[in-house]
Structure 1
């Protein structure tokens, strides 16, 4: 497979820079092998059945974009340099790997001050990233970060506008629980408490899993031969209770419908021919056409970038020809694309 197989022309005006309000008023494209239907997210229950189980990624996005000052004393007096920091992922020893701009202005051992309460020391660097040791950990770190950090909007939004206070709510799911992501599981942004209650009343069930979405989700594919692409790694967990719920639903004939590609990638990582197993660790699963799905029966997801690994994933689920038809319809009908955009419900087995 070639990278060009997953390309398409997207008008820039279709890139959403703000979410729909209310969340459930976003448009919803429902695709089966034989039909495409235009709906809205609040109609989601019309397409689900009692006994279906939706898989929700309960990772919580941190305000990972920081601006700080590096102070230095010398013969010419005290100097300060402004440093932009994007947190990427925590290390096993409670440090953080981060992008620093400009990295060359900071030496190992120097401190970057982000505010009255939060500062970090550069303790190492590798592959263009710095390793930071913060002065706070746990809940104290989370509270300080909330005060001084900005939400890490995707590059295609950040290029059009800066993050602001509204993003701290807009770019967080209704069920965010476990801190660790630097990007949101964006299909989940379409849900609110009222929609969850409506679906539960219909008999739809929910299972929470955790995949801490990393900045690698935005990395472009740079090889023409898709099989040569190295997928980024992200930490995830499927608990025994979650695995048991998924397996029980499948045994009873219900459908497993991940909300978002992150939830799908995680449960497929944990899947075996004998069912989904409890699982924890880093996953770099790369789903392309020809992949054998063993856990997911359908997928709710946003509309993805051309030539991205996520376009390859939805092509694997629906078939390359069918997903081209879906995206052609979405573009001609002016659906809003990417993280703050509209949603699709992909039903490869049909809706019956």
Structure 2
């Protein structure tokens, strides 16, 4: 299969071409404000199965369905929880996925046999234009090989998916840089399953108390059935093993500098890059600029794969605000191999 690159900047028919491919049962790389996704017709189980094959994705890792307007949720969910309307008013379009009871129209290939489904209304104009033009909701996980860092540019997608999908719709670099926040509304209390661009603190302003799933802080067992992507398997990882050091940024930088040996990569805050002159250094934003860290973290992790480093040390932020999402991605890239400095 030849993967074609579609650019709306040079081809006025790019979105229609991508939509036509989706309606033919193909998979298309789609830009969103969070990361690029692999989009297929969410109502076509055979098309959705192609996503799993292209990614090498485990068959028990459910997908998120993307819609272009809030009212479309009623076609996918038999009983929309009142909390969903409140969250939509506050955060949609945007980087928030809500887990709700699924309707019969959602094939098992999307939900992996669960009775729930994740639904999101992205804010990226090309994503919504593609959904409207196709006329169907789109199932779309991140457009990376399963386990690797997520893709935040069309070039990233091409590198992982060339020859595996029909096309890539180029919408430029992603603005948020980490996947959407996932909150389930299908339990007795709302629960945060994956942190993202909408913070826990923001959710609490709308919902009140929000439980936090343990998968945010620790590796969960292979026998655990999950209801959202990014909870169970090794994710976001470059080829070299990653060790995370958490605590005061100055102290973590000094700790890393004292433990370097052999061909080493360092993912660090901008302020500390000069402390590692013998290493391959990837700076991913100032220690106080969480938005920059979110935009840069996957790109910088991917950059290590073009080097000969045999190990990677990483700083990461605390868990406040957007830092919870950035820290979660870095810790999962390390398989939760974390050194905590008190």
Scaled by the length of structure 2, the TM-score of the pair is: 0.26
Name the structure where strand makes up a greater proportion of residues: 1
Greater RCO (Cα-Cα under 8 Å, separation 6 or more): 1
With the length of structure 1 as denominator, give the TM-score of the two structures. 0.26
